[in-house]
Structure formats: C-alpha cells, structure tokens
Chain A
Amino acid sequence: MYYQLINFGNEEFHAYPNKSLYWKRLNTLIISDLHIGKSISYAKNKQFLPPYDTKEILNKIFVSLDKIKPSNLIIVGDLLHDVFSTLSLKDQDYKNLSQYMKNTDFIWIKGNHDKNIQIEGFKNLSNHKIDKFLFTHIPIETSLFQICGHYHPKVKISHRGKTIFKTCFVHNEKIFILPSFGILTGGLDIHSKKISDVLGKNNLSIYPVGQDKVYKL
C-alpha cells in the first residue's frame, strides 16, 4: 500500500488511502470515527441503509492489522454509532477481534457517539497520552500535540473549472484531524466554521484521499 509521509510534532507518520494513520516509531496504527452499526441505528428510524457497514469496516481493520502488524491500535473515538450498534456485531466478529487483540493492544478513546458503551476486552478511555501527544476525540485546551477525529474532514478542490470534494487528513501545527474510517459516514468541509474554530484558516496541511493514494496539497 502506498502511503503519504506526514511530519507532525517532529514525528514521522504515514497516511494510508484506507484512511488510517501509522506512527512509525511506536509501531502504532490510528483510526477514527468508524461508526460501526450506523445502518442499524438508521433502520431503527425506518431508514434502511445497506447493512454491510459493520462487516466492511471490520474487514478493513483486519486487512490493515494483517499487513502492518502494529503493536497498538488507537481508535480516536466513535468506534460505535450508538447503543444499538453492538447488535450488528456477530459472535464471529467478537472471536476475530479477540484473536487480533492477542498481538495488538486495542485502545478505544471515547467519542461523543459511544461514550456510554462498553465492549468486553476493549480499553475504554476518555483520552490517552503518549510522550508529547494526546489522543482525544475532540481537541481540548492543552500544550500537547493532539491527534483527533470527530469532524470527518473533507476538502473542496477547484481546478480547471471543476469542483470536487475529497475526504482528507488535515493538521495545523498542533492539531491533527483524521478522516472517518467508516463506510456510511459523511463529511464536513475543512473551511466550515466548526473546523475553522479548531484549526484556524491558515497554515493547514491538507492531504486528500484518492482511490489508491493520499495526495498532498
């Protein structure tokens, strides 16, 4: 898999087109906003999205773990869409997960969607600090470098008279925001007020995610 090299907080990270981020020095894989079970949550309201999201997301994770074999997997929030989401996890899924947990330490940071849910075998934290880096779903007031999720960033690209929206990795000097690893998850323009309030408007490093490649703008 091709990756895009990103330097953040003087550390080397690799951004993959499957929307995961790899921290090389600590052999740690980072993903965010999986929203497992979103289709079930919608079905509850009689909005019938295809129920394949959970299966696909888990497969994506397993493929990454097989390839990279990280010591740690950090999920920076919204692993699950809501309390109904666990209904979409089958016995086999739990078995597979515990199999992978033997070699990889799973660290689950709570997000706004899943702060009250527990899954057996998962460490459930409100944030997690490693060296000068803080892993948190939504950025907080701190002097540390922060790696977060929550916003599902997308970037608007206008070129030769055409405009496209692309999911992206984005960071400023201190805050890094991951794209959503989910399947049925939407996105938010990085220049929208919600994201600007966090990252500011200038000096952003933006990495749009293409089909097989992460680009750098």
Chain B
Amino acid sequence: MNINKSNPLLLHPLNKWMKKKKWSWFPHQIETFRHVRTGSDVVVFAPTGAGKTLTGFINPIDDLIKLKKFKGLHTLYISPLKSLANDIVRNLEKPIKELDLHISFQVRTGDTTPYKKQKQKQKPPNILITTPESLALLNSYENAKEFFHNLKYIIIDEIHTFLDNKRADLLSLNIERLQTFSPNLQRIGLSATLKNKQDAKKWLCRKKPKIVSYENSVLPKINILESKERIPWSGHMATYSINEIYKEIMKSKLTIIFVNTRAQAEYMFKNLWLINKKKLKIVVHHGSLEKNLRLKVENNLSKGLVDCVVATSSLELGLDYGDVEKIIQVGAPKGINRLLQRVGRSNHNLNTPSEAILVPTNRFEFIEAKAAIEEIKKNNLDKIDLKDGSFDVVAQHIFATACAGQFDIDDLYKEIIKAYPYRKLKLNDFKQLINLIQDGGYVLKNYDQFKRIFQLRENKNIYKLVHKRETRKYRMNVGTIIENPMLKIKLGTKSLGNIEEVFIQNLSQGDSFIFAGQVLEFQSMKNNLVQVKRSKSLISKIPSYSGGRMPLSTNLANSVRALLAKSNMWDLYPEQITEWLKRQKNISKIPKKDEYLVEQFPRKKNFYTVIYTFAGWHANQTLGFLLLRGFKEFNYKPLGFVANDYAIVLWSLKEAKEIKTILNLGLLDKHLDNYLEETSIVKRLFRDNAIISCLIERRLPGMEKTGKQVLFSSDLIYTVLKKNEPDHILLKSSYKDAKKNMIDYDRLREILKKIDKKIILKKLTSISPLAVPIILEINRENLSKKETDEYILEDLENEILKEANVLSIN
C-alpha cells in the first residue's frame, strides 16, 4: 500500500514544517488523525521517539486552523509531571511560531503564578497544558462550566502511568466532568506499549473506541555486567562492582544509572565519587532533593554538561536527553515494563537500539535480570491491573463539586459511574461519601448545626456549600499524593531538600549522613528545620525512605521460576551462580516452574521453614504474618519471619510438621482480618484516606501543622472510629485500599488456591544454598542500625557460609 497517496496529513497545516525538517509522518499518526477526525476516542501506543506528543496535537491544530481565530479553550493536554508540561510547551512553540499559526497555548501547574492563573481564567488560551491536580482545581471554580463548555479535545499523555492509582481515579472523575460540560469532547490517550491495551481503551474511550499501535522492531541491547568479582549472596548496594560500573561510565558520553531507592542513589553516588580519578561530572537526582537542585541537574543534563547521573524513578519519565548513550540498572528490575521504560531513556532514535547494562546486587537478582532480558526479547510485557477506584477520591471530588456550585446528587452519581474505575460504585456507598463531606458521616449525631454542605429545604436532592470560605480548605487538600512526614534540610541558609522525620529522630547531634551527594553533620532541629553543616567524616549513615518498595511483577516472577528450572542454561551463567544452583540441586531441589518448594531444617536450636513462593514482597510479607498465626495455632512456638520478593523464612522452637496442612486458602480466610487489625497497614492507609477525603486537613495558612501532627490525630480518629463505628465508610475505604495495594490480596489468594497440591517438601539436615540469601536477611533485619557496619556483616556472612558448607564454591 502506498501510504503517501492516501495520506490526508499531506494537507495538514504542519506538513510544511515537517517537510522543512525532512521528517515524514508515521503510519500511527495518519491512523490516529483519521480516527479522531471521524469522531473516535483513541488510545495511541508507541515507543519513545515515535512522535507521540505530536500525534496528540495533529487533530487539535488542524481543527483550530480550520475554525480560524477560535476564541476560548479548545484543547486540554494532561501531563503526569510539571516538568514534562513545560517541555511540551517548548516543543509546541517551535512549529506554531515558525509557521506563524494563530494558536495560543499556555501551561498551568502548581508553579504558575496566581496572576497568570487569573489571566488564564479571564482569557483562556486555545491549548492549555496542565496536570491532573490543576485540572481538578479548575473544575472546582464556579465558572468551570463556561470555561470548558467549548472544549473539543482532551489529550492524556503517558496514560500508562495513570491507570492503576488514586491519581488515575481523580483524573477519570474530572474527565467525566469535562464531558458533562462539553458533550462533544473527544479523548486522545498517549501511552507506552502495554500488554493489556484493551483495558486502557476501556478506561479512556467512550465514543467509537479505537486503538492505534506502533511497535518498534528494533529491540534494545541489554546485557548483564560482566564482573570479575563474585556476586554477593545478599544485599542491595552493588559495592562489588563499583569499579566496573565506573569503567562503563567512562566509555559513554552520558550514562544514567538507575537504582531502586533513594538510599541506593546516595550510596552509589558516594561510592562513585570515592573512585572518581578522572574527575568525571557525576551528579545525583531523586525526588527528595530541593526543586532548585533538581532543576539544576536537569538543566545541566540537557546542556550536555554531565557525564553520569545516578537517579531513581524521578528520571524515568520526563524530558528527553538526546545524548544519553547508556543506561545502567543497578538492582533487580522488578518488572518488565519498568525496565523497558528505563532502558528507553537512552538513545531516542527509533532505528538504533537502546543500550543498557544490568547490575544484579545479589544472586537471585542475577536470575531475575536474566529472566527480564529473555522476556524483553519475547516482548512479554507486564499486565497493568486496573482496580476499582478508591472511595476517598470520590469524597474529594464531591467536595470539589460543591465548591463549584450547588449540585444534584442523582446527576453527580450518574456522572461518577461513567468513569471506568467507578462503574461499580454502589449508590449506598456514594451516599455515605456525601455524608462524609457533609459532617463526617458519623452515625452518632452530636451536632446537627455544623455542616460543610447541606440539603436545600425545597429540594432534598440538591446540596450546597454552607460557606464560600470552605473552598479554600478544599484547595489546600486537593490531590492524592500523600508524602510521609518530611523535614527540610538547611545547610546554612540554603535548602537542600526533604528528609523523612523518622530518620532524623534516630540521629544524635554530631552524627553524619549523606544527602544530595554530600556528607553532612546533624546539628540541630528547630521549627521543623534540620540544620546541618558539611562533614569530613568517613562513616556516615544513609537516609532510608519508607514506601515505594516495588514488588516483583507476577509476569517476571513466572519467568524467574521457569528460568531457574532450566538446568541446561546454567552452564552459561558465571561459575559461582552455576555452582550455587548445582549444589542446590544435589542437596535439596530446584523447583519446577509450577512447584512450590518448602525446605525445613534445624539451625542453632531452632527449626527453620523456607517457602519459595516468588510472590513478590507484599504478598510474602502478608503470608509470613498469616503463617506466624498458623504456627501459633499448631503450637510450634514461632519466633519470627523474614520475607523478600522470592521467599519467606520462619523460625520456631518446634518443628512445623504439619506445614502442608497449614499452607492453604483457609489460612487467608481465617487470619487476614486479625492480621490487618494488628499491623499498622490499615492505620497508615487511614491517614491517607482521611487527608484525601478532606476529613482532616493537610495544612492551613497560619496554622502550619507538621506532618507528624497530622499522622497523630489521624491515628486517634482511627482508634476512636474502630471502637465506636467499625462500619464507617473511611474504615471500609482503608481496608479496601489495603487489600488492593499493600498486601497483594488477589495474588496471594491465587497462589494459596493451588499451592497444597504443588508443595514439594524437603527435610534437610542444614541450610540449603538457595536459602542462604534469605537467611542472611534475617540477621540484617534483626541487627540494630549501629551494628550494621560492613565488617560485622562480612563476619556473619562467612559464619553462615561455613555452616551451609558452601564456602568452597568461591
């Protein structure tokens, strides 16, 4: 087929500019243009570098030119990041200015000045580029309907990042609101390649839904770092390979080293500087750094002034740095999609492959890295699980609706259930959420006189805000991202960024720690500011940041199991890995891909049970707690457990002889509620729920609350509610969130459903080679922070290795 002949884009206003640049239209751009022109909502799947942003704007620009000097807002562009929004403006500017098109466009984010925001409301641009939170705010203004009533297109960029979290829930509700304001609105989604494209389509599209997809035939080149050093049994810091990583940096123009946690980023950065003999320009970038520092790093990156940046997921999305030649992923990839996203940050040319090197930090991660490379070759991506929307976001949305003016609850309910995450929202739950916004929604009514919204006497379906000043409280609480309590770090008068309060509480005056790549000494804490000075200390702590721990994806876990079982592949691995697996095979067993290996052995007067589930950290953590209870019931006198992505180990005073009886679905049904009650998981989620649903305030001008005070009072509310009103909608909501996100309920259920027939039980006389990594984690977790000096760990490691009789492997 000759695409050019039938290419309608040859008549597009941008065609002249494309020709000048000697670019041609991509097939997916043509296809998208056709579908949108004929009235379809479309999701476009394409890799980076395939002109995705432009694809979104083709129809809006065409339309705007045809309409000639259209007045008012025509197209809304939603970006997941503020920085990305700014970048879009810069990219849009080029063709529009060069072709002298009469199209106005502006950005609106949390960083936009109030003056500019006011101007935008009076005289909106044709194209507005914004974020989900700013959109929610716009919808809460009284004139929102007039502002949006002519809106023709909404473009959602990077829609794959919006599918499975509370931000997505918020966005979905606001898109439906826009559709109510402007029934002709068309939706265009731009996404990285996904496995379940249909789900993304269902989430976004309403009118004649269409999928447009462009697959890149050039596969990325991904290899595992070849190291002369031995890969450690356990740990996550990759100290062993630092010299080889440095050599790789020297080979490329610009390298991004991705790590999994902020702590790893600081550690890696520090270790690279210690061996930086060539004085390479190495910088660090993560989400806790002060905005100015981050922007400086980003600027220097785009100007090509940097040789290497150590980054967390903070650099996964966002600006394209054309000069990135190589990606180094340190630590487990955890998921295929995530790894691909990271790898895709290098070399934005579609026809040359991206290059990446994986650095496993322990032996299981080596297998995981291998498996990830295999899956990428097969293009076997992870599925994104679309889950039912969270209640607290609906509550926030109800409040926003009330801020915009009086509303009919039937209309609002009908609009909300059009949003995909809320298609199953029950009317009864919705009404409870209305009550939650009205007065807290408590059964006991002590104070009828105090309400936030009230029913009109003449029409009980219509609700209205009691006072305009309440809108300010909504605007303070808008959004779904809740940070842990953080404190600002000050070096002299300069602000370096934020650090978790919990970490600072454990420091004494004079202790040193690493932050923003510098060794700092803790001096004092005043008014929620942490005062520090530079330190020359060689021993320093690394701040840890809770949360954000990504579990191993089910897809990759299955692949790891399959790969482990393929013994004919072992000889291709480094000798230490091969030996490790061979010994495991001789001493115990290598589980087949659908088997669950359970090993039991005595050690130091206790009995150990190791279960290899490959279920990911969240599910394993939950299973560990449940088993602890199961063991108690059978009177095995359990002492503790440790879980990682691959396995769980429990130790008890008595041998767990009936492990096969205990390990089944009944365990989950019987003990889950107790477990949720005893741990702080639900309590912590309740805090998020209370803030997002605007039950408690994030902060109010003039009464600045520290993060801790919010945490504290939400704990009190939680305790009082549990005791007096266990059916309260926010408790229900928190349990729902826990099952959805924190304990991987569905995944655990799937495994337990089939596990009893697939257990391979091995009774051993001592620890097996496969169990060594997780046994080492026990000792790590049980040591206090002060004792975790490296030499102690090494000592411990040697001791356990001797015990396992595997020291000779190396």
Residues of A in contact with B (beta carbons under 8 Å apart): 39-40, 43-44, 46-56, 87-88, 156, 158, 160-161, 163, 183-187
A48 in contact with B439 given A163-B502, A183-B716 (CB within 8 Å): yes
B505 touches A87 (CB 8 A): no
Give Cα distance in the complex from A55 to B697, angstroms: 25
B277 at interface by CB-CB < 8 Å:
no
Smallest CB–CB gap between B503 and chain A, Å? 10
Q: A40-B446, A46-B450, A88-B446 are in contact. Are A52 and B720 (CB under 8 A)?
A: yes
| A183 to B786 Cα, complex, angstroms | 36
| Chain B nearest Cβ from A4, distance in angstroms | 23
- Judge whether A184 and B446 touch: CB under 8 Å: no
Q: Are A186 and B713 in contact (CB under 8 A)?
A: yes
Q: Are A158 and B506 in contact (CB under 8 A)?
A: yes
Q: Are B713 and A52 in touch, CB under 8 angstroms?
A: no
- Cβ-closest chain B residue relative to A40: B447
* B720 engages A53 (CB within 8 Å): yes
Q: How far is the CA of A156 from the CA of B525 in the complex (A)?
A: 15
Are the C-beta atoms of B720 and A47 separated by less than 8 Å?
Answer: no
Are B450 and A184 in touch, CB under 8 angstroms? no
Whose C-beta in chain B lies nearest to the C-beta of A90?
B446
- For the complex with contacts A43-B446, A161-B784, 18 further pairs of A-B residues with Cβ separation under 8 Å are A40-B447, A43-B439, A46-B452, A48-B440, A49-B713, A51-B447, A52-B724, A54-B446, A55-B724, A56-B724, A158-B505, A158-B506, A161-B786, A163-B502, A184-B713, A186-B709, A186-B716, A187-B712
Is B785 positioned at the interface, with any CB of A under 8 Å from its CB?
yes
CA distance A158 to B445 in the complex (A): 41
Q: Are A46 and B695 in contact (CB under 8 A)?
A: no
5 pairs, A vs B, C-beta closer than 8 Å: A48-B440, A50-B724, A50-B728, A51-B446, A186-B712
The interface residues of chain B lying within 8 Å CB-to-CB of A39 are: 446
Q: Which residue of B lies closest to A185 (CB)?
A: B716
Give chain B nearest CB distance to A185 CB in angstroms: 8
Shortest beta-carbon distance from B707 to chain A in Å: 13
A87 close to B697 (CB less than 8 A): no
Residues on B lying within 8 angstroms of A by beta carbon are: 439-442, 444-447, 450-452, 466, 470, 473, 502, 505-506, 695-697, 709, 712-713, 716-717, 720-721, 723-725, 728, 784-786
A43 CA / B717 CA spacing, docked (Å): 14
Chain A: minimal CB distance from B36 (Å): 44
CA of A143 to CA of B785, assembled, Å: 45
A88: nearest chain-B partner, CB-CB: B446
- Residues of chain B contacted by A54 (CB below 8 angstroms): 446
Query: Lowest 6 A-B CB distances belong to which pairs?
Result: A48-B440, A51-B446, A161-B785, A43-B450, A161-B784, A52-B724
Q: Which residue of A lies closest to B724 (CB)?
A: A52
Kindly count the residue-residue contacts between A and B in the assembled complex, taking CB atoms under 8 Å apart.
82
Partner of A46, one of B473, B506, B713, B785: B473
Q: Once the chains are docked, how many angstroms separate the CA of A186 from the CA of B714? A: 11
Q: Contact check: which of B506, B696, B716 meets A161 at CB < 8 Å?
A: B506
Chain B neighbourhood of A56, CB < 8 A:
720, 723-724
Q: How far is the CB of A184 from chain B (nearest CB, A)?
A: 5
B473 to chain A, nearest CB (A): 7
Q: A46-B470, A50-B725, A186-B709 are in contact. Are A163 and B505 (CB under 8 A)?
A: yes
Once bound together, how far apart are the Cα atoms of A186 and B705, in whole Å? 12
Known contacts A87-B446, A163-B505; A43/B440 CB under 8 A: yes
Cβ contact within 8 Å between A183 and B697? no
Residues of B within 8 A of A185 (CB): 716
Rounded to whole angstroms, the CA-CA distance of A51 and B445 in the bound complex is 8
Q: Give Cα distance in the complex from A158 to B697, angstroms.
A: 29
B736 to chain A, nearest CB (A): 20
Q: How far is the CB of B704 from chain A (nearest CB, A)?
A: 15
Most buried by A among B447, B709, B786: B447
When the two chains form their complex, are residues A47 and B502 in contact, meaning their CB atoms are under 8 A apart?
no
CB distance from A75 to the nearest CB of B (A): 21
Closest CB of chain A to B377's CB: distance in Å? 43
Contact A51 B452 (CB under 8 A): no
Whether the pair B784, A49 counts as a contact (CB closer than 8 A) is no
CB contacts (< 8 Å) of A88 on chain B: these are: 446-447
A187–B712 Cα gap in the complex (Å)?
9
Closest Cβ neighbor of A39 among chain B residues: B446
| Chain B: minimal CB distance from A217 (Å) | 17
Most buried by A among B439, B445, B466: B439
CA of A69 to CA of B475, assembled, Å: 51
B442 x A50 contact (CB < 8 A)? yes
Give Cα A196 to B724, complex, Å: 37
Q: Whole-angstrom distance between the alpha carbons of A47 and B447 in the complex?
A: 12
Q: Which residue of A lies closest to B441 (CB)?
A: A48
Residue of A whose beta carbon sits closest to that of B708: A165
A49 x B446 contact (CB < 8 A)? no
Closest to B445 in A: A51
Q: Which residues from chain A contact B444 at a C-beta distance below 8 Å?
A: 51-52, 55
Docked Cα-Cα span, A55 to B439, in Å, equals 19
Q: Which residues of the other chain, A, contact B728 by a CB distance below 8 angstroms? A: 50
Contacts of B502 in A (CB 8 A): 163
Look across to chain A and name the residue whose beta carbon is closest to the beta carbon of B787: A161
Instruction: Give bound CA distance, A53 to B713, whole Å.
Output: 13
Asked whether, in the complex, the Cβ of A50 is within 8 Å of the Cβ of B717, the reply is yes
Docked Cα-Cα span, A165 to B697, in Å, equals 22
Complex: how many Å from CA A183 to CA B724?
12
* B697 to chain A: closest residue by CB: A47
CB neighbours (8 Å) of A187 from chain B are 712
Question: Shortest Cβ distance from B526 into chain A, in angstroms?
Answer: 10
In-complex Cβ contact of B506 among A51, A53, A163, A184 (8 A): A163
Q: Report how far A88 CA is from B724 CA in the complex, Å.
A: 16
Inter-chain CA distance A72–B784, complex, in Å, is 47
Of the listed residues A40, A46, A88, the one surrounded by the most CB atoms of chain B closer than 10 A to its CB is A46
- A4 to B7, alpha carbons, bound, how many Å? 86
**Min distance, Cβ A84 to any Cβ of chain B, angstroms:** 8
Q: Which residue of A lies closest to B503 (CB)?
A: A163
Note all chain B residues with C-beta closer than 8 A to A52: 442, 444, 720, 723-725
- The chain B residue with its CB closest to the CB of A156 is B505
Residues of A within 8 A of B447 (CB): 40, 43, 51, 87-88
Q: How far is the CB of A44 from chain B (nearest CB, A)?
A: 6
- In the complex, chain A residues whose CB is within 8 Å of the CB of B451: 46
Q: In the complex, which residue of chain B has the Cβ closest to the Cβ of A43?
A: B450
Are B720 and A50 closer than 8 Å at their CB atoms?
A: yes
**How far apart sit A53 and B716, CA to CA, in the bound complex (Å)?**
10
Name B721's contact: one of A47, A50, A87, A161 (CB within 8 Å): A50
Chain B neighbourhood of A184, CB < 8 A: 713, 716-717, 720
Chain A residues near B696 (CB-CB < 8 A) = 47
* Whole-angstrom CA separation of A46 from B502 in the bound complex: 30
Q: List the A side residues contacting B450 at CB < 8 Å.
A: 40, 43-44, 46
C-alpha gap A46/B476 in the complex (Å): 14
Contacts A47-B697, A158-B505 given: A183-B720 contact, CB under 8 Å? yes
Select from chain B the residue with minimum beta-carbon distance to A52.
Answer: B724
Please give me the residue from chain A that is nearest to B722 by CB atom. Answer: A50
For residue B303, give the distance in angstroms from its CB to the closest CB of chain A. Answer: 43
Contact B786 A50 (CB under 8 A): no
Residue of B nearest to A193 (CB): B526
Kindly state the separation between the CA atoms of A65 and B450 in the bound complex, as whole angstroms.
Answer: 33
C-alpha gap A39/B696 in the complex (Å): 12
Task: Output the nearest chain B residue to A51 by Cβ-Cβ distance.
Answer: B446
A66 → chain B closest CB, angstroms: 20
- Which residue of chain A has the shortest Cβ distance to B467 in the bound complex? A46
Q: A185 CA to B442 CA in the complex, in Å?
A: 19
| Cross-chain contact of B442 among A48, A160, A161 (Cβ < 8 A) | A48
